[in-house]
Amino acid sequence: MKKNKMADLFAVAQQAFDSRDYKRAFSSLNKFKRAKTEIKFEHVLLEAKVNLALKKFEKALLFKTAGEQLAVSAKQKVEWHNYVAEIYQARHQVEGVIYHLEQSLALDKSIANAVARHRLLTHYVQQEQYDKAREVGYKLLDWQGYFISAAFLLMDCVFATDDKTEGLKLAKSLTGHSDYLAEKEMIHIFNKLLKVKAIDEAQLFVEKEKKSKGVQYWHQIAQAIILVHQQQISRAITLFKEIKGAGSIYEMDFHRALRDFYFNARQESQFFALAGDFHDDYFNLVYLEEYVSLEEHDKLITYTVQPGIAPFLHCMADYNKLISYWLLGRLDDCVALLRTNKEFISISHQGHPKHLKIPHIFMVYIQALVRDRLRKKPEAQVPGHQVIYVIGESHALGLHDQIFRCGDSSYQGRVKFIKGIQMHHLAGEGDNKYKYYLRRHLGSIEDNASVLFTIGEIDCRIGKGLSLAAKKLRRPLDELIDQTVKGYIEYIKLSLQTKPIKKVYIQGIPAPNIEKYPWLDLAGHVRLIQKVNVLLKSQVLAQQWFFIDVYAATSDVSGWSHGKRHLDACHLKPSLYEDVTAWIASPQ
């Protein structure tokens, strides 16, 4: 009788869960557990599902070991791995998701486990693990219901690995299913064709779309973009201005195409001169992406997004304004803007779509900097300190107005910010916007000043930067490190040949401070950072410059960060720079 009652309690819990009455399911499960009946796999699985539905993620993970132990059959093990992957997904821990989906697929490669295969393909592409993506993805093309989404993901994958032939084949197969594709998906295919310079294919694609669906607004914009890629700039601008439409975020694609053309042609000033020709928000927002690196802060902070524009464009404008307020020392305005975006900031960046991750990361980082600065006395224009110009990406921001001491020298930081700059941007052949901004910033600095470069941490992130490039290019990692570091230092050396500089400081790469998930190559990541620092230090000292060994300042005996000098997973606390004497390597 008691056994039947317990079975009924579990059935009630299952029924409540199926009807999305999660609190009732939770209550029934607790009554079921108090009876101290034998716990089976299905009991643990349901309890994990209920806790996940109630957003009790940590509690859901507590059942991880029990589930693994109770899962006896292969089917149960597959089901368990898939559900643990969902828990990690809810916690925005992508590495955990991938690990458990891989375990699931290793146990069941059939169509019955196609959902796990598709989820794994999606994460592989998002994490730029393209070889693995191709390995699991092509099977999905044979299964009805998965073809379109799998073909999209694989197209991104093969184009990213420069397999143009296969990418065009997938794009062509997708256009054969155009009746089932939304407008944004068609535009995605069009943009991919342009990215690999398949201009003729892009033109044919648009013409085919016009014939099958009639002329649409994005078809007209696409034609103008094609003219830009064909270097017919006057015709492109004329056509774009003639297009009659209600306004669309796809207009940003046209403006970005113009920007890329002028930057690649080293005619940056001509792009910025177009500000008087266009009077739409979308051009202004593309312009905004460059304002911060141009130090046109006054233009940026006075820019107002027009009512009715897409919400994500407000975020784009606000995070650029926030950087400018910080660099202008306007902390009250920083606080006000952070308060306006409180809800946006409160969500983990993993929970935002890809185009909002960078705005979110910057807002969270500057919020931490503002809080740190407000706890201290203001240091603006402290007498007796020389100015040191800090050129770099987000790591430079913490040094703005920060006191920087090194032995007998005492400086106050003035940041020359270049959004997203990496060592490989300067090491590679040809020109790009990062080299342009570096030259521009150096030209704005007075002669015989001191300069600090904080570039390189992004190149060294786990599973990205150098390690990912080595896999994609199929080159030895050590060879790529050598080329990148030496090319970076050589470009700075050439850039300084016509600029008298008193002292040059180069900052190394800090110890990693990310969570130590068991599925990550932690030892390999530490070795990469150590190798970069060793080579960077030798190259810097050979130029008679100064090397700031932030790795030594932040690492413990394992080579990992001890956490005392990190502000977050990547950035350092400004207080580290209050006296770096102990971590300076000086030329002989």
Q: Are 220 and 228 in contact (CB under 8 A)?
A: no
Lowest mean pLDDT among 144-153, 215-224, 392-401: 215-224
Q: What is the DSSP string of 126-195?
A: HTT-HHHHHHHHGGGGGSTTTHHHHHHHHHHHHHHTT-HHHHHHHHHHHHTTGGG--HHHHHHHHHHHHH
- Please report the pLDDT score of residue 339 as a whole number: 93
Q: Are 281 and 446 in contact (CB under 8 A)?
A: no
CA atoms of 249 and 221, how far apart (whole Å): 11
Q: Is the pLDDT of residue 264 over 70?
A: yes
Q: Are 84 and 67 in contact (CB under 8 A)?
A: yes
**CA pseudo-torsion sign 282, 288, 294, 297:** positive
For residue 286, which of 416, 433, 395 has the smallest C-alpha distance? 433
Q: Is the pLDDT of residue 309 over 70?
A: no
pLDDT, tens digit, for every residue of 399-453?
Answer: 999 888 888 888 999 999 998 999 999 998 888 888 988 998 999 999 999 999 9
- Please report the pLDDT score of residue 1 as a whole number: 38
**What is the mean pLDDT of the segment spanning 33-40?**
74
**What is the mean pLDDT of the segment spanning 241-259?**
76
pLDDT, tens digit, for every residue of 98-114?
Answer: 999 999 999 999 988 99
Question: How far from the centroid of its chain's Cα atoms is residue 180's Cα?
Answer: 30
CB crowding 414-428: b at 16 or more within 10 Å, else e? bbbbbbebbbbbbbb
Q: Is the pLDDT of residue 489 over 90?
A: yes
CA atoms of 186 and 206, how far apart (whole Å): 9
CA atoms of 186 and 530, how far apart (whole Å): 45
Residues 6 or more apart in contact with residue 156 via CB below 8 angstroms:
125, 192
- Please report the pLDDT score of residue 54 as a whole number: 84
Residue 164 tokens, joined? 């143009």
CA atoms of 465 and 458, how far apart (whole Å): 7
- Please report the pLDDT score of residue 423 as a whole number: 97
Which of 261 and 491 is assigned the larger pLDDT?
A: 491
- Please report the pLDDT score of residue 119 as a whole number: 92
Residue 540 tokens, joined? 């810097």
Give the pLDDT band of residue 347 (cuts 50, 70, 90): confident
CA atoms of 55 and 461, how far apart (whole Å): 30
Q: Are 562 and 510 in contact (CB under 8 A)?
A: no
Q: Is the pLDDT of residue 456 over 80?
A: yes
Residue 293 has, within 13 A of its CA and on its CB side, a CA count of 22
- Please report the pLDDT score of residue 273 as a whole number: 77
Lowest mean pLDDT among 13-27, 299-313, 375-389: 299-313
Task: Decide the pairing of beta strands 409-417 and 403-406.
Answer: antiparallel
- Please report the pLDDT score of residue 2 as a whole number: 47
- Please report the pLDDT score of residue 494 as a whole number: 94
Lowest mean pLDDT among 17-21, 279-283, 381-385, 534-538: 381-385
Decide: helix, strand or coil at residue 352: coil
Q: Is the pLDDT of residue 508 over 70?
A: yes
- 242, 243, 246, 247 alpha-carbon torsion, rounded to 10°: -100
Q: Are 222 and 207 in contact (CB under 8 A)?
A: no
Other beta carbons within 10 angstroms of residue 541's beta carbon come to 16
**Sheet of 409-417, strands arranged across:** 403-406, 409-417, 386-392, 449-454, 501-507, 546-548, 584-585
Q: Are 469 and 425 in contact (CB under 8 A)?
A: no
The H or E element that residue 405 is part of is: strand 403-406
CA atoms of 257 and 540, how far apart (whole Å): 37
Radius of gyration for the chain, computed over Cα atoms and rounded to the nearest angstrom: 27
- Please report the pLDDT score of residue 65 as a whole number: 75
pLDDT, tens digit, for every residue of 541-579?
Answer: 999 999 999 999 999 988 889 989 999 888 999 999 988
Q: Is the pLDDT of residue 24 over 90?
A: no
pLDDT, tens digit, for every residue of 353-382?
Answer: 666 788 889 999 999 999 999 987 555 545
Other beta carbons within 10 angstroms of residue 64's beta carbon come to 17
Q: Is the pLDDT of residue 351 over 60?
A: no
Q: Is the pLDDT of residue 491 over 50?
A: yes
Give the best-scoring range by mean pLDDT among 276-280, 340-344, 470-474. 340-344
Using a 10 angstrom Cβ sphere, with 0-12 exposed, 13-18 middle and 19 or more buried, the burial of residue 88 is buried
> To the nearest whole number, what is the mean pLDDT of the chain?
84
Percent of the chain with pLDDT over 90: 33
Tell me which long-range contacts 150-154 makes (C-beta under 8 A, separation of at least 24).
150/118, 150/121, 152/185, 152/188, 153/121, 153/122, 153/125, 154/121
Q: Is the pLDDT of residue 509 over 60?
A: yes
For residue 415, what are the β-bridge partners? Answer: 390
Matching residue, tokens 């980082």: 365
Q: Which amino acid is at 522?
A: L
Which of 117 and 436 is assigned the larger pLDDT?
A: 117
Which of 185 and 100 is assigned the larger pLDDT?
A: 100
Lowest mean pLDDT among 70-79, 180-189, 276-285, 516-525: 276-285
- Please report the pLDDT score of residue 312 as a whole number: 65
**What is the mean pLDDT of the segment spanning 4-22?**
78
